[in-house]
């Protein structure tokens, strides 16, 4: 979470610097100001889409790992339920496409 917070603070600082520089440089040129602010707006929208999309993806991965942890705790609680020579019971443990693919490659 610290890295995401640092990146967000840096983005806000760069955004503020870009606004100040655009206003300072384009004082007499309204068309330059409009062009720069439209471009800056597009950059902000792209950043926010990436930020929100990444948050949802990380939330899904964390939930999948939580489900797999619960399943593993349940499997290994009962003696004799898990066969250490056969790891096929681990296939599909995450209910998450990316993580299940990685686990299938491992087992």
The mean per-residue pLDDT over the stretch 18-43 comes to: 84
Are 92 and 56 in contact by the 8 Å Cβ rule? The answer is: no
Q: What is the pLDDT of residue 87?
A: 67
Q: What is the pLDDT of residue 22?
A: 81
pLDDT digits (tens, 9 = 90+) for 47-60: 889 888 888 888 88
Domain ranges (residues) in the chain: 2-106
Q: What is the pLDDT of residue 25?
A: 81
Q: What is the pLDDT of residue 46?
A: 92
How far is CA 104 from its chain centroid? 23
Are 103 and 94 in contact by the 8 Å Cβ rule? The answer is: yes
Confidence of residue 8 (pLDDT cuts 50, 70, 90): confident
The mean per-residue pLDDT over the stretch 28-51 comes to: 86
Q: What is the pLDDT of residue 33?
A: 79
């Amino acid at each position: 979470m610290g890295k995401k917070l640092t990146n967000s603070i840096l983005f806000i600082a760069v955004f503020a610097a870009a606004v100040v520089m655009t206003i300072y440089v384009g004082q007499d040129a309204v068309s330059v100001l409009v062009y720069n602010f439209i471009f800056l707006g597009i950059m902000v929208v792209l950043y926010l889409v990436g930020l929100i999309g990444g948050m949802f993806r990380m939330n899904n991965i964390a939930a999948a790992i939580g489900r797999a942890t619960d399943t593993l705790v349940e499997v290994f609680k009962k003696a004799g339920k898990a066969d250490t020579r056969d790891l096929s019971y681990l296939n599909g443990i995450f209910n998450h496409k990316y993580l299940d693919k990685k686990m299938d490659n491992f087992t």
